[in-house]
Structure 1
Amino acid sequence: MDLVAPVVVEPLRRRRCSECLQGPLERMVVEYNALICLDCADLGHLVFLRRGDTALTRRAREGSTLWAVVVRHNKRRTRYERQGLLVEEAALARAEAACLADAEARARRRARDAARRATVDTEITATLRAEILRLFPSCPADRAEEISEHASAKGSGRVGRTAAGRSLDRGAVTAAVRASVRHVDTPYDSLLMQGVPRHQARTRVAPAIETVLRAWRHGAEDTRGPGRG
């Protein structure tokens, strides 16, 4: 049977319970459009566990007969975001003891995972750097390194982390190089700071970008087979 956890809200403004009039409320439950304090909602005996420790959260939730999700509205993102859980105090104590008992093993596992991810990231960056230098053989080596590191930064969503970037698509790699030239070798950023609209600024610096790219392409030979790029 699927479990449906109660949802507890951390209000952004001062609120009072519609039943006992207690307030201001740090956390509350919304029932039939009415604001209810945790005591009136029969959740007052639970303790708050802030999000962040995945193992502790999972164990406390699994060991708690009753638990609730705590959320807060993010005005900027216009959505509710999870802040943590309310769990039974005894369940939290057992979860903390269990996490303490196997902390060393989990630390070793995290270290192994981090080392594996670092190896993959290094390989992605090195491969991208080699392709940049193949397409732009006159590009300074330090710039190629800088571009590849920036484009392949983990979690960035940039070219090097996309499918096109990993497959060394010519357009994707060139886009990464062009972006670097735009910011480093032209007054593009200064134009933006002066209030020039982005599209106009790009149009102004386009000739300068192409000049640098032509110079960096000097000596390039396309050694890829049909269908690549």
Structure 2
Amino acid sequence: MDLVAPVVVEPLRRRRCSECRQGPLERMIVEFNAPVCLDCADLGHLVFLRRGDTALTRRARENSTLWAVVVRHNRRRTRYERQGLLVEEAALAEAEAACLADAEARARRRARDAVRRAALDTEITEVLRAEILRLFPSCPADRAEEIAVHASAKGSGRVGRTAAGRSLDRGAVTAAVRASVRHVDTPYDALLMGGVPRHQARTRVAPAIEAVLRAWRRGGAEAGGRVRG
């Protein structure tokens, strides 16, 4: 199956997401001639790797199940030019580990880790983690922590930083858990890379997502298991 990487645009003017109305957008995709933010496009969990280090880029792309090309329009040359990639953070970490001989790559990793640590709000993260485990008592503790950290990063606009998230709205918290299950426990990312449109891919994996959520809500031997079918 040929891979079809999503294309992410760095807009030259201020744009807002056509779905959640967040903005101005640093990066976006275009669907039906309308801007869509990366979180709504299910790409918000990816991290940006700027072009320039060929070996690091190649390894990160190879290790990432889902990745996207980032482009920006050059008005002078009247064309879109590649700025880098969005890749999974774990894939980038693996690529950097493979490039440990490169001191610059090690420095980039330290800087990225420092930014990530600075973005965490410990109190919000802990409250959100506790609420995830209250709603989904059989969710593995490390997954609840991972979801809470991702959803509550400062400046992300994700559910943990919204009014609904801070008030622990059941729907908002469930949405954060569902998004994690979509990427980790289903073949959703692989479907996107295979060229399946986002809305079709979501429909195809919806039963698998609900199966995991039901298991996490009620407990049982199947709780926490991955669904890859």
TM range (shorter): 0.3 to 0.5
Which protein has greater RCO, CA pairs closer than 8 Å, 6+ apart? Answer: 2
Instruction: Report the TM-score when normalising by structure 1.
Output: 0.44
Q: TM-score if structure 2 supplies the norm length? A: 0.44
